[in-house]
Amino acid sequence: MAASVAVEELVNEALPQGIRTRDRILSTAARLFSQKGYEHTPLSHVAREANVSKALILWHFESKEDLFRAALGRTLEPYYIDMGDIGSLDEQNQIETLIDSYFKFVRENGYSVRFIVDLMVRESGPDEVMSHVHELYVVFRNLLAEAIDRGRLSGRFRPDVEPELDAALIVTTLDGILMERFLSEKGRPTTAENLVEHLKKTTFLRMLAEPAASKAGANDVL
């Protein structure tokens, strides 16, 4: 689950003209579909923004839907989880790192995340894409669950944490925070950040084991 994308951007000048044009069409389509949705993005619009004719698009791609699937593939390219050297952290920091990287990803990929959520809600995405998204979801949840379980076994977390359920609830809350961004008024910029911090705080308030020799009420104060 380490970094595995990138590359490819730097070798463009070595590619034949046809491929470059195809590529420009693809990224233009990905951007426009993400911004305005499939229905509201006629081929003529993609053609204009990519500086090609409609007909050329349909020479490269069999149909508008074919272009759509190809663009979706491109949209999903950055969806990987970069965990770097997570192993060197204690369990609490592992979990915080996971939460932060989820949130960072959502923040930095607003358009395509909105695109994917739209497809989920309408159940209209190609199966391959939806199962890709679902797989990422499961991988992330399992990373969380494993970190929680390690914390439980090492005694840093309470013995009654339930790794699977707790991980699922954290992911679900993160999804809710993601949705919050779609509902909130425009004038409230940082609510999502506040919620993420509060999620972390309350999660550990509940999961961390009490210091062995503590007295009752030891954490009554903030």
Partner DNA sequence: GTCTATAGCCCGATAGAC
Partner DNA sequence: GTCTATCGGGCTATAGAC
Name the residues that contact DNA, by CB under 7 A: 16-19, 21-22, 42-44, 51-56, 58-60, 63-65
Of the residues 15, 120, 139, 153, which one makes contact with a copy of itself according to CB under 8 A: 120
Closest to DNA by CB, 33 or 102: 33
Least distance CB 126 / DNA (angstroms): 15
Q: Which partner from the list a copy of itself, DNA, none does 154 bind, CB cut-off 5 to 8 Å by kind?
A: none
Least distance CB 145 / a copy of itself (angstroms): 13
Least distance CB 2 / a copy of itself (angstroms): 25
SS (H, E, C) the chain: CCCCCCCCCCCHHHCCHHHHHHHHHHHHHHHHHHHHCCCCCCHHHHHHHHCCCHHHHHHHCCCHHHHHHHHHHHHHCCCCCCCCCHHHCCHHHHHHHHHHHHHHHHHHCHHHHHHHHHHHHHCCCCHHHHHHHHHHHHHHHHHHHHHHHHHHHHCCECCCCCHHHHHHHHHHHHHHHHHHHHHCCCCCCCHHHHHHHHHHHHHHHHHECCCCCCCCCCCCCC
Q: Which partner from the list a copy of itself, DNA, none does 137 bind, CB cut-off 5 to 8 Å by kind?
A: a copy of itself
Q: Which partner from the list DNA, a copy of itself, none does 173 bind, CB cut-off 5 to 8 Å by kind?
A: a copy of itself
Task: Name the site residues for a copy of itself (rule: CB under 8 A).
Answer: 37, 39, 114, 117-118, 120-123, 133-134, 137, 158-160, 162, 165-166, 168-169, 171-180, 182-183, 185, 191, 194-195, 198-199, 202, 205-206, 210, 213-218, 220-222
